[in-house]
């Protein structure tokens, strides 16, 4: 059962659930974000502006972005659409604040906060901030602060039209096809070497 903001918050770790693989689109989303982060990390922190400073950790978390997406999906049971809309929010930030970079030290916090806000907009039933904090490895105070920061950075423009949503889904589908073609070529290339 999901917990809304008015119900008591869950205690301890999120409840164990059956292992469920996220939809492939979420794996592609994590791959797209990993490529963005890798490119930006190579530019160096000197190129990073101050807009995303609230999301910076002292170092990159040990958990990979793909496993972090899996964790959020597994424990929050939010719809895959929340991840797409969270991606829209991150992309909006990137375009609105081009001097600030999405880096390995801020992507995890940006992602869990974006997905949490998206779940409040899209899903009829969602967990409260304290639960998302626990799933994301943050304190309740920190996730509350990050939520406000994200909302102000977005000027509270959190609605995503169906057309914009479709465009981002199509982008992820193209990424998925490109990835499948690349993997197919690598497999066939490996077969030729034998």
Element holding 90 (H helix, E strand): helix 80-96
Q: Is 172 helix (H, G, I), strand (E, B) or coil?
A: helix
Length of the chain: 194
* Residues in Cβ contact with 78 at an 8 Å cutoff, skipping those fewer than 6 apart: 72, 115, 118, 119, 122, 123, 126
* Section 61-83 average pLDDT: 94
Question: pLDDT tier at 114 (50, 70, 90 boundaries)?
Answer: very high
Place of tokens 């375009």: 95
69-79 tens-digit pLDDT = 999 999 998 99
The pLDDT value recorded for residue 18 is 45
Interatomic CA distance for residues 124 and 120, integer angstroms: 8
Determine which of 74-83, 94-103, 113-122, 179-188 has the lowest per-residue pLDDT on average: 179-188
Give the residue with greater pLDDT, 185 vs 54. Answer: 54
Helix 140-153 and helix 129-136: axis angle, to 10°? 100
pTM of the model: 0.81
23-40 tens-digit pLDDT = 888 888 998 999 999 999
Q: Which of 140, 91, 92 is nearest to 116 (CA)?
A: 140
* Section 98-115 average pLDDT: 94
- Give the number of other Cβ atoms within 10 Å of residue 60's Cβ: 16
Q: Is 56 helix (H, G, I), strand (E, B) or coil?
A: coil
Give the residue with greater pLDDT, 177 vs 88. Answer: 88
């Amino acid at each position: 059962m999901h917990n809304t903001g008015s119900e008591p918050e869950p205690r301890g770790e999120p409840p164990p659930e059956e292992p469920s693989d996220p939809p492939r689109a979420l794996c592609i989303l994590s791959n797209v974000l990993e490529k963005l982060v890798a490119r930006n990390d190579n530019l160096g922190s000197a190129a990073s502006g101050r807009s995303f400073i609230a999301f910076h950790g002292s170092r990159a978390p040990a958990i990979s972005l793909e496993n972090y997406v899996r964790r959020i999906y597994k424990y929050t049971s939010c719809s895959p659409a929340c991840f797409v809309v969270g991606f829209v929010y991150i992309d909006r930030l990137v375009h609105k604040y081009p001097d600030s970079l999405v880096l390995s030290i801020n992507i995890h916090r940006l992602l869990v906060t974006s997905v949490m806000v998206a779940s409040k907009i899209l899903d009829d039933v969602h967990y409260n901030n304290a639960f998302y904090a626990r799933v994301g490895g943050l304190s309740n105070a920190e996730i509350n602060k990050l939520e406000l920061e994200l909302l102000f950075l977005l000027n509270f423009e959190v609605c995503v039209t169906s057309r914009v949503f479709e465009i981002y889904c199509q982008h992820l589908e193209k990424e998925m096809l490109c990835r499948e073609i690349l993997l197919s070529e690598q497999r066939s290339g490996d077969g030729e070497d034998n």
